[in-house]
Structure 1
């Protein structure tokens, strides 16, 4: 079974791993462990000491803050374009956020010490991860601005587009309740916004399944935040080849 899974998956399905020089990837490859990342899995908890980093391939992980009253909101999503666990190489080693899987799939897990051994060579991996971190910080800051200043419908369009950028298809398995939790808004707001998009024939929503019917239409209804994030990923990562899912 393990051999069959390995044949279906490859570390280069993650865009950061795919653009590493072959000698760097060869050093890391024996330590990369293919792991299932199931919907709802907690990758790490608040203030947890990081033992691993994750390179998603077909899964998507939500980074979000949880308030004392249990309310939460997503600050960023990480899919096959990135890495989960940036606090490790940024020097903090723990994180104030929670990381959970919201689109199930697979990814590669790497022990913290193996990542840091390669990072501390101050070579291609270090430069790539620092660029990615800057792009991720742009996504985080833009999410905060968007949640404060833009309508629920605009936020939903932004979230759908950023999620689609991390998937091979135009379909998502996601309940309105979960999306509301991601965006930190009331479920009724998501129901109304999704209804508007469905009546405009931009999406089809049925029993927790969302199909995007008109991507360009979504792009016309979203705020500038999606474009800001997309352009920053492209600016920072275009010369590495990892920005191909963010066309300029």
Structure 2
């Protein structure tokens, strides 16, 4: 069964992504997601039969606001942005999820998404039918506890985002945005553009350019086209102030 899954996954992965080793399709591979790693071996084995490893390409929309959530995703090395979209098509990020959690959890049959989920950093994740995950949740145990803990953490992240918009400077919000991705990245190098950051923070690109230039002058980051490398994490945390707390 695992060999068959490996063939189907490899065939669907773009050449550029195949150059980077994919997480193994195994219990150990699934445990690269911290929420799944928190389960007992018995619980993970029961769930594993329903998990499929899938490539998550940058820009892929996993679901849109108002859609029924057919699948939930446990990222391993991908980073997913949860965004609120306005009537005029504008988007603002409300939370970000990486290997620590899950997106697309639906605890009620027919429940629809209240935001959209977009892959921001390409990678891989384990996909499961929402109906299967819902059934497992109501079975109790460590999975239910992990999912409730994750939901609580998402609410805390959302509250921090709202507080940052109200009280934080653009520079503080930029630092928080970069740090949140650094928490979920396997390196200190982030593939992002100033335009992407500006759109997610709901500010002008020129403001991000100015703040990023200042952070670079102070030796906190190195910015090249499409890539931000954080070289002084502690300095970034100090600059973020109350806008950021570790994931």
User: Normalised by the shorter chain, which TM-score bucket?
Assistant: 0.7 to 0.9
2:239 aligns with: 221
1:177 aligns with: 195
Unaligned runs of 5+ in 1: 231-245
Aligned equivalents of 2:98 and 2:34: distance in 1? 9
Aligned equivalents of 1:169 and 1:113: distance in 2? 34
1:242 aligns with: none
Aligned equivalents of 2:129 and 2:61: distance in 1? 17
Could you tell me how far 1:90 is from its partner in structure 2? 6.3
RMSD between aligned alpha carbons?
Answer: 1.7
Could you tell me how far 1:95 is from its partner in structure 2? 1.6
Aligned equivalents of 2:160 and 2:51: distance in 1? 32
Q: Does 1:192 align with 2:210?
A: yes
Could you tell me how far 1:13 is from its partner in structure 2? 0.4
Q: For 1:144-163, what aligned pairs fall within 5 Å after superposition?
A: 144-163=162-181
2:45 aligns with: 26
TM-score by length of 1: 0.88
Q: 1:6 to 1:82 in 2, by over 3 A?
A: closer
Spell out, residue by residue over 1:180-203, the C-alpha distance to the aligned partner (whole angstroms, 9 max, x if none). 111111111111110110111110
Could you tell me how far 1:89 is from its partner in structure 2? 1.9
Could you tell me how far 1:225 is from its partner in structure 2? 2.5
1:233 aligns with: none
Q: 1:216 to 1:90 in 2, by over 3 A?
A: farther
Could you tell me how far 1:7 is from its partner in structure 2? 3.4
Q: Does 1:7 align with 2:24?
A: yes
Q: 1:220 to 1:91 in 2, by over 3 A?
A: farther
Q: 1:56 to 1:7 in 2, by over 3 A?
A: closer
Unaligned runs of 5+ in 2: 11-21
Q: Does 1:42 align with 2:50?
A: no
Q: Moved runs in structure 1, 4+ residues, more than 6 A?
A: none
1:70 aligns with: 89
Aligned equivalents of 1:82 and 1:7: distance in 2? 18
Spell out, residue by residue over 1:71-102, the C-alpha distance to the aligned partner (whole angstroms, 9 max, x if none). 2110000000000013x026772122110011
Spell out, residue by residue over 1:93-141, the C-alpha distance to the aligned partner (whole angstroms, 9 max, x if none). 2122110011010000001121112111122111110011001100011
Structure showing greater relative contact order (alpha-carbon pairs closer than 8 Å, 6 or more residues apart):
1
Give the match's secondary structure for 1:68: coil
Q: 1:52 to 1:217 in 2, by over 3 A?
A: same
Q: Does 1:117 align with 2:128?
A: no
